[in-house]
Structure 1
């Protein structure tokens, strides 16, 4: 207790600035949720898709580990269409080594997203067993989920989005769902073995081999707007994936949000988790990249992580790229869930433990006090709820004059509150509700 108080005393004199709320403005076109079933039904009713789903076929439908908008609904819609054609669909968790690299853990992740046998109306067959389906162009054996490999057909349910650790014409999307997701831990390990510097080659190479040697029928990818709402759904035949995915990725990139201020002294992230990003917090937003194969996001000298999301089930991967965290986070960490993911992707930095402070306030104070060459009387602090939802952010009052009447921020940032003191309780923590910090 005395040691903890001693550490707290070191940072206790660091004054935190008042914060004001700002609305970030992005294009917000989206699909009406109630229309999604008809959209998917109409897409798949085109002969080039419908004719591939025949009565009696056992069809594997992939579902990944990301927090994709409307993922349970879109998965159910694909299931319903297959059943309408007389096929026998089942769902396969396609998430590499996530869920602690166990069949039970991967099924649990799907349950957290509402993808259950009861809701979708078909079996969920979760297994880590894989089968070699052929070789890629470089002569490397390619493995995918055994149940999917032995099905009569595979339909890819996925989202297209920029990746968090590498750049290329195929990042997070259809190719990666096959190469990494369907590969399970074994296949993902082989694909990652050459490092992220080669992922831009390996993902399409493995993906093309799966298209050529496994019964992939087509994909039903989605794209989301800056508010993580479904704004586009498509259907892509297996033989068209290679040619069509790069343009879809560029479209997805054009819709990506960002923090409109370019830099800060301290970035405060209320929560990280696998439901927000494979990296816990999306470095395309936070700048916390795990490799030098990608760049972007806000330029922050220090990053404070205050909490884990309930949906991440203790998987705090990405925490290692923060500067400091809280005792609350430390107590929630499930290392057996974190480590398989890090070992499989061959990047260990994300599971390191940063400096641990007792409270939210001390964590932020620690980050601010250790910043170099800044004006601590006018500290520039940005606070976000998570990397997925940045429609509203909190900025320290040092940004007020910068934003007011500045044409550069017109149509991008709108000030919606006056600067206020942080609302820490007597223990130095921010308010919480249902396991999440109140933003």
Structure 2
């Protein structure tokens, strides 16, 4: 028997979202007072990654227009490491899914899966690779969001430094970094390789963003290359202070409605689910989750199910949507085969939820502590089981949004409960 459930909201303060991302970015770039001679009549490449940044089209369009306003000749190129199967066609599809197309941006978009060898870093002799497109550039601008990384913890994690080292590094660069990182640490390797690239490429500046825990853009700053490291460190510290987590440190079952590369590099945020499974990396202390079932892949992930190996169960519809070739390539390049494993496949949502609560050693599965979320970026509203709510009912940050009810499924076993609330 499945637990009874209800919808709750976590009422936790957060930083306000920016109301005019285009203007914020344009003003931030203007504030740098870049010498116009560095842009006028020059070919300027704008490196755009694969992460689903909030307001990404507006931000990129602002950079494009800034370059045009200063007399430059901008184009966008994909800086997405191993995403898109490492092909130019896959890279273009990934950018298009994020709203970055030649029609929307009004500039050419270039994609290239090839890497060129740049040299070795002076300190530790790390091999450095970059997208072959950089040979065409007279100026380079990068954009990325600063956030905690899913695979490691350090003073810098995911941000502008990563878009250099792994994004612009293309598949060969990404693989080289992940291989070294297994023994020497991701942060150290990324910082050293990014520094080498910034010293050898015509970098004008970076556009750095952060988001609040509602995944809303709350900060934009343009940063000169010599200031990127310290600025990124400070931005990451701020982000870590403004987080939302699951409301408990342990539960029997987590049900995830959707996962994908636009949600997290590993499909699900590893620190939210308490599982990383990267060779040499310490597993999080919390949360402790008995079973995880995944019920869907996002459209924007294009079948890439990297991170599914962190789950225990998924469904036949999810299995049919998996792109095994692209995901395998991604996992090999990232030195993360564990994250590309396929969990136990059951028929439908009903079976995936039942399996999760029936295989954690409970005499009465209806008393399982369970949470059902849309994805690991959406932790404000969630469904909890009756037994879990008993632990939360005195929490002043928890607001009840529904009556207690049963899980509901259609004739094919697809979950209907709270379908409308989650907009799925």
Provide the TM-score with structure 1 as the length reference: 0.91
Corresponding residue number in structure 1 for 2:65: 80
Corresponding residue number in structure 1 for 2:116: 131
Corresponding residue number in structure 1 for 2:129: 143
* Match status 1:315 vs 2:301: no
The structural deviation recorded for 1:139 is 2.2
Does the 8 Å CA contact 2:368/2:388 hold for their aligned counterparts?
no
* Match status 1:182 vs 2:168: yes
What RMSD in Å do the two structures reach over aligned CA positions?
Answer: 2.0
Does the 8 Å CA contact 2:114/2:171 hold for their aligned counterparts?
no
109, 126, 149: which one aligns with 2:94: 109
Helix, strand or coil for the counterpart of 2:177? helix
270, 274, 296: which one aligns with 2:261: 274
Q: How does 1:42-81 map to 2 (within 5 A)?
A: 42-49=27-34, 51=36, 53-81=38-66
Helix, strand or coil for the counterpart of 2:34? helix
Does the 8 Å CA contact 1:134/1:213 hold for their aligned counterparts?
no
Structure 2 unpaired stretches of 5+: none
* Match status 1:387 vs 2:376: yes
Helix, strand or coil for the counterpart of 2:257? strand
Corresponding residue number in structure 2 for 1:214: 201
Alpha-carbon distance between aligned partners in 2 of 1:52 and 1:211, rounded to the nearest angstrom: 19
Alpha-carbon distance between aligned partners in 1 of 2:217 and 2:363, rounded to the nearest angstrom: 40
Corresponding residue number in structure 1 for 2:188: 201
Q: Deviations over 1:73-127 (max 9, x none)?
A: 1011001000100001111111100111111101101101110111111111100
Q: How does 1:159-308 map to 2 (within 5 A)?
A: 159-197=145-183, 198-291=185-278, 292-293=281-282, 295=284, 298-308=287-297
Does the 8 Å CA contact 2:36/2:70 hold for their aligned counterparts?
no
Does the 8 Å CA contact 1:259/1:390 hold for their aligned counterparts?
yes
Corresponding residue number in structure 2 for 1:420: 405
* Match status 1:326 vs 2:315: yes
Alpha-carbon distance between aligned partners in 2 of 1:49 and 1:19, rounded to the nearest angstrom: 56
Alpha-carbon distance between aligned partners in 2 of 1:77 and 1:273, rounded to the nearest angstrom: 27
Helix, strand or coil for the counterpart of 1:308? coil
Does the 8 Å CA contact 2:207/2:223 hold for their aligned counterparts?
yes
Q: Any runs of at least 4 consecutive aligned residues in structure 1 with deviations exceeding 6 A, and if so which?
A: none
Q: Judging changes above 3 Å, is the alpha-carbon distance between structure 1 residues 120 and 374 closer, same or farther for their aligned structure 2 residues?
A: farther
Alpha-carbon distance between aligned partners in 1 of 2:364 and 2:180, rounded to the nearest angstrom: 43
Corresponding residue number in structure 2 for 1:95: 80
Q: Deviations over 1:393-421 (max 9, x none)?
A: 000011233222x2xx22x3212111111
Helix, strand or coil for the counterpart of 1:367? helix
323, 332, 335: which one aligns with 1:343: 332
The structural deviation recorded for 1:438 is 5.0
Alpha-carbon distance between aligned partners in 1 of 2:352 and 2:364, rounded to the nearest angstrom: 19
The structural deviation recorded for 1:431 is 3.8
Q: Judging changes above 3 Å, is the alpha-carbon distance between structure 1 residues 187 and 228 closer, same or farther for their aligned structure 2 residues?
A: same
Q: Judging changes above 3 Å, is the alpha-carbon distance between structure 1 residues 252 and 294 closer, same or farther for their aligned structure 2 residues?
A: farther
The structural deviation recorded for 1:207 is 0.6
Alpha-carbon distance between aligned partners in 1 of 2:386 and 2:405, rounded to the nearest angstrom: 9
* Match status 1:353 vs 2:342: yes
Q: Deviations over 1:120-145 (max 9, x none)?
A: 11111100122233321222331111
* Match status 1:16 vs 2:5: no
Query: Which has the higher mean CA deviation after the structures are superposed, 236-245 or 326-335?
Result: 236-245
The structural deviation recorded for 1:294 is 5.4
* Aligned length, in residue pairs: 419
Alpha-carbon distance between aligned partners in 1 of 2:358 and 2:32, rounded to the nearest angstrom: 63
